[in-house]
Amino acid sequence: MPEAVARAAEFLRSGALVGFPTETVYGLGADATNERAVAAIFAAKGRPHFNPLIVHIPVEEAEAFAEFDARARRIAAQFWPGPLTLVLPRRAGAGLSLLASAGLDTVALRAPAHPVAQKLMCATGRPIAAPSANRSGRVSPTEAAHVAAELGDAIALILDAGRAPVGLESTVLDLTGEVPALLRPGGITLEQLQASLGAIAIGKVAAGPARSPGMLASHYAPSLPLRLNVTEAHPEEALLAFGPNIPAGFAEVLWLSHSADLAEAAANLFAMLRRLDRPEFSGIAVMPIPNHGLGRAINDRLHRAAAPRP
Ligand code: AMP
Ligand code: MG
């Protein structure tokens, strides 16, 4: 692995794109200080240019790229490295690609905990802009093979470290306003953030859709239609089951978690959506998932995966 990481770092420094594991999902990385490399991410994903990217940095370098107040420092100390992205005022002159922020005067920063991501950042010596390594709007990759299947042609190298342990994207927390705002539920739960911050605004985004375009209605979508909160079987559908008791009569069943464990369900969600996304089924049915803790992020992804396509 050390050799592969060194090669990946070299590719990044030369402006190429690299697929790499993080604890949340696999990322499509580019040197965040190289405008052309960042543009290549948008092209490879077919991502709308108004949707800004998360910039990945080692914890100790974060303050070079954004302005941290006491509150941001406290949250970073508590949850970094980890699956939490902070939206903060951009620091002028830090050399970050403007495209990475989609022209906003804020930047989304995250310090990942995955050891391979950390080694890659260290070997590259640059901040790494990285969205999930999937075509825009589709299911996020939790294994290297998912990345190769969808974006292999656009990527110089993919670092394979097995399954992404969390399996859902990071929580995005906007700390640019007086009241912290949850822009996307994810790997750090709302309950964890509330315990530390008190009141948090949910889904109340001040300046319209460009503020956090990842909140677009349709996202994370498989090809098949999704039916949510399912309690009755359709014989042509495949079922994503949760908990020990399931309605009988589906064409196929995969268990997000037999023991109703939300962390296990989160880790399985995207890979199982991919496995069931086959034309022999008429759709994918999903049993109800409790809406607390990681369940909130799971339900967020499911609702967008089920939303009408543009
Ligand atoms: P992705 O890279 O696909 O995991 O998505 C990153 C998420 O962070 C998306 O929801 C973006 O809209 C959001 N995001 C990135 N940068 C910013 C920013 N400066 N302000 C608000 N949201 C952001
Ligand atoms: Mg994504």
Confidence label for 132 from pLDDT (cuts 50, 70 and 90): very high
Closest CA to 225 of 176, 276, 270: 276
Are 61 and 179 members of one domain? yes
Structural domain range at position 235: 226-306
Closest C-alpha to ligand 1, atom 3: 131
| Ligand in nearest proximity to the CA of 89 | 1
pLDDT digits (tens, 9 = 90+) for 300-309: 999 999 988 7
Q: pLDDT value at position 249?
A: 96
Counting residues of the chain whose pLDDT is more than 90, the rounded percentage is 91
Are 81 and 192 members of one domain? yes
With the most atoms of ligand 1 within 8 angstroms of its CB, the residue from 23, 87, 97, 109 to mutate is 87
pLDDT digits (tens, 9 = 90+) for 157-203: 999 999 999 999 999 999 999 999 999 999 999 999 999 999 999 97
pLDDT digits (tens, 9 = 90+) for 206-228: 444 445 555 667 788 899 999 99
Q: pLDDT value at position 209?
A: 42
Judged on CB neighbours under 10 Å (0-12, 13-18, 19+), 243 is middle
Q: pLDDT value at position 1?
A: 78
Q: Residues 256, 268: contact at Cβ < 8 Å? A: yes
Q: Determine, yes or no, domain membership for 123.
A: yes
Are 132 and 185 members of one domain? yes
Q: Determine, yes or no, domain membership for 220.
A: no
Q: pLDDT value at position 208?
A: 43
List all residues whose CB is within 6 A of at least one atom of ligand 1.
51-54, 85, 87, 101, 104, 106-108, 131-132, 169, 172, 183-184, 211-214
Are 41 and 109 members of one domain? yes
| Ligand in nearest proximity to the CA of 130 | 1
Are 144 and 253 members of one domain? no
The CATH number of residue 95's host domain is 3.90.870.10
Number of CB atoms found within 10 A of residue 113's CB: 20
Check pLDDT > 70 for residue 105: yes
Are 20 and 160 members of one domain? yes
Q: Determine, yes or no, domain membership for 18.
A: yes
pTM: 0.93
Q: pLDDT value at position 221?
A: 87
Distance 210 CA to ligand 1 centre (A): 10
Overall average pLDDT of the 96-121 stretch: 96
Overall average pLDDT of the 9-31 stretch: 98
Are 183 and 231 members of one domain? no
Are 299 and 170 members of one domain? no
Within 8 A by CB and 6+ apart from 63, the residues are 91
The total number of structural domains that make up the chain = 2
Q: 105-109, 210-214, 272-276, 284-288: which has the minimum mean pLDDT?
A: 210-214
